[in-house]
Amino acid sequence: MTTSKLPILLSPETLSAHLNDQSVQVVYVGTEEKYVEGHIEGATHLTHASLNFGIAPTAGHLPSPDHLQQLFAGIGLNEDTHVVCCDDEAGTAAARLFWVLEAMGHQHVSFLDGGLLAWRAAGFTLTSAISPRRTGNWTPTPQSQVLATKEYVLESLANPEIQILDARSEEEYAGIKSASERKGHIPNAISMNWLNTRDPNLNNQLKPLQALQRTLDQLGLSQSKEIIAHCQTHQRSCHSYMMLRALGYKNIRGFAGSWSEWSADLSMPVVNLQDQKG
């Protein structure tokens, strides 16, 4: 079977039909222990930590291009490889890989909807056999149009053609709680809790795309505008980024520093709804 252009959002059934395509490479993101316990046949493995800078307050920043080139070479990634990102958790680890690859200019990336939870529920099996390591030659090229710096976000606050999607919980957005010392949200940000985009009764797969589009329309998040997605450290918002891409949104940036970096800089403006109540 030859590979046609696969959609961004893959069902287990679609992946199964293309699993033997030579250009398709499933990449499991998670711990080594979980990978050894069971993964899709032929899948290679990356840790979640390897896709993050990892040092606060910019823990969610990208690692260096040199680090990423070595990382992806180790899983056999070439320019024409179609990567299918999956995990066995909530989907954020696989979505992080999805965003990193697009931020580094890779052209062929999909996301297994529901990950291994949905794969098993569909009746497909896993293996503990370790896939042989291959050497790839793809060179990452940072894509400025996919990346949003703190300074870019600050400048965007005065631009009506740019919108900010806050993927954190409603409590974080309102300033009721925070993993950072400062609480609240970036001015003008629109709250869309990433958890509300998944169906917990359907193996944590995305809700129907039409329903998600209606929600986005109600929130005013328009395909005609640029959208910057963020959360605390750009893990949950990578899932939001992937969702938007699956819906056909093209002009999206990920704010890798996210709330962690923004709130740590006391010169950055913050809106705290709890303060307003006082």
| Residue boundaries of the structural domains of the chain | 9-121, 144-277
C-alpha to C-alpha distance for 36 and 8, rounded to whole angstroms: 26
Residue 89 confidence (pLDDT):
86
- In this predicted model, what pLDDT tens digit does every residue of 72-130 receive, in sequence order? 999 999 999 999 999 998 999 999 999 999 999 999 999 999 999 999 999 999 999 98
Write down the pTM of the prediction: 0.95
Confidence band for 64, pLDDT divided at 50, 70 and 90: very high
Give the whole-angstrom CA distance, residue 147 versus residue 158.
18
- pLDDT number for residue 47: 97
Residues of the chain with pLDDT > 90, as a percent, come to: 92
Instruction: DSSP for the chain, please give it.
Output: -------SEE-HHHHHHHTT-TTEEEEEES-HHHHHH-B-TT-EEE-SGGGS---TTSTTSPPPHHHHHHHHHTTT--TT-EEEEE-SSSSHHHHHHHHHHHHTT-S-EEEETTHHHHHHHTT---B-PPPPP----------GGGEE-HHHHHHHTT-TTEEEEE-S-HHHHHTS--SSSS-SB-TT-EE--GGGGEETTTTTEEPPHHHHHHHHHHHT--TTSEEEEE-SSSSHHHHHHHHHHHTT---EEEESSHHHHHHHSTTS--B-HHHHH-
How large is the average pLDDT for residues 213-225?
Answer: 97
The first and second tokens of residue 146, run together, are 């996919």
CATH number corresponding to 144-277: 3.40.250.10
Whether the pLDDT of residue 3 is over 50: the answer is no
Q: Which two tokens stand for residue 121?
A: 């529920």
How far apart CA 122 and CA 12 sit, in angstroms, is 7
pLDDT of 36 over the 70 cut: yes
Tell me what pLDDT residue 277 has. Answer: 60
Thinking of the domain 9-121, which architecture would CATH place it in? Answer: 3-Layer(aba) Sandwich (3.40)
Of the candidates 85, 86, 231, 238, the residue annotated as catalytic is 231
User: Can you tell me the mean pLDDT for 142-166?
Assistant: 97
Cα angle 153-238-235, degrees, rounded to a multiple of 5: 95
Q: Do domains 9-121 and 144-277 have the same CATH topology?
A: yes
Chain CA centroid to CA 11, Å: 17
The reply to whether 238 belongs to the active site is no
For residue 4, the model assigns a pLDDT of 52
